[in-house]
Amino acid sequence: MVFTCTWDGTGQVYISGDENSLTGVYADDGFTIQIEPSGASFDAPEHWAHQHPIVNLTSGMTPGTNTFTLVVQNWDGLSMSYGMGNGGAIPAGVMQTPYIIEVIPGIGSGSSGITANQPSEIVVTKKISPESIKQDTNATINITVSNHGKTPVHDVEILDTTLPAFPVVNGITQLSASSIEPNDSIILTYTVQAKEPGLFSLNKTSVMYAEPDGNYYLIYSNPETVDVLVPLIATPSQDGSDNFIQDLFTWIKGLDPFVQQKS
CATH number, position 207: 2.60.40.10
User: Both 217 and 161 in a single domain?
Assistant: yes
User: Both 222 and 128 in a single domain?
Assistant: yes
In a domain, residue 238? The reply is no
User: Both 6 and 42 in a single domain?
Assistant: yes
In a domain, residue 13? The reply is yes
Instruction: Give yes or no for a contact between 126 and 141, defined as CB atoms under 8 angstroms apart.
Output: yes
User: Mind listing the pLDDT tens digit for each residue in 106-140?
Assistant: 433 333 333 344 445 788 999 999 999 999 999 99
Q: How many domains does the chain have?
A: 2
> How many beta carbons lie within 10 A of that of residue 225, not counting itself?
12
Instruction: Give yes or no for a contact between 92 and 86, defined as CB atoms under 8 angstroms apart.
Output: yes
Instruction: Give yes or no for a contact between 226 and 163, defined as CB atoms under 8 angstroms apart.
Output: no
Q: What is the DSSP string of 72-114?
A: EE-TTS---B-SB--SSSS-TT-B---EEEEEPTTT-SSGGGE
Cis peptide before 45 (omega within 30 of 0): no
The candidate with the shortest Cα–Cα distance to 115, out of 34, 13, 9, 3, is 13
In a domain, residue 43? The reply is yes
In a domain, residue 246? The reply is no
Dist CA 150 CA 182 (whole Å): 5
In a domain, residue 78? The reply is yes
> How many beta carbons lie within 10 A of that of residue 41, not counting itself?
12
User: Mind listing the pLDDT tens digit for each residue in 166-212?
Assistant: 999 999 999 999 999 998 999 999 999 999 999 999 999 999 999 88
User: Both 102 and 32 in a single domain?
Assistant: yes
User: Both 113 and 11 in a single domain?
Assistant: yes
Q: What is the DSSP string of 121-136?
A: -EEEEEEEESSEEETT
The candidate with the shortest Cα–Cα distance to 223, out of 208, 237, 204, is 204
Q: Of 91, 117, 143, at which residue does a domain stop?
A: 117
Dist CA 60 CA 144 (whole Å): 28
In a domain, residue 237? The reply is no
Dist CA 58 CA 7 (whole Å): 10
User: Both 142 and 224 in a single domain?
Assistant: yes
In a domain, residue 261? The reply is no
User: Mind listing the pLDDT tens digit for each residue in 45-80?
Assistant: 666 666 777 788 888 888 888 888 887 766 555 444
Mean pLDDT, range 226-249, rounded to an integer: 71
In the prediction, which pLDDT does 114 show?
34
Q: Where are the beta strands (DSSP E) in 37-88?
A: 40-43, 50-52, 55-56, 64-73
Mean pLDDT taken over the chain: 77
Q: Where does residue 140 fall: left (phi above 0), alpha (psi -120 to 50 degrees), or beta otherwise?
A: beta
Instruction: Give yes or no for a contact between 7 and 40, defined as CB atoms under 8 angstroms apart.
Output: no
User: Both 99 and 196 in a single domain?
Assistant: no
Going by the DSSP 8-state scheme, the letter that residue 160 receives in this structure is -
User: Both 35 and 75 in a single domain?
Assistant: yes
Task: Give the residue numbers spanning the domain of 163.
Answer: 122-229
Question: Measured between alpha carbons, how far is residue 235 from residues 134, 193, 245 in Å?
Answer: 12, 16, 20
Q: Of 85, 117, 149, at which residue does a domain stop?
A: 117
Helix H or strand E encompassing 255: helix 241-255
pLDDT at 86 over 90: no
Q: Of 100, 117, 134, at which residue does a domain stop?
A: 117
In a domain, residue 242? The reply is no
pLDDT above 90 coverage of the chain, percent:
32
User: Both 11 and 109 in a single domain?
Assistant: yes
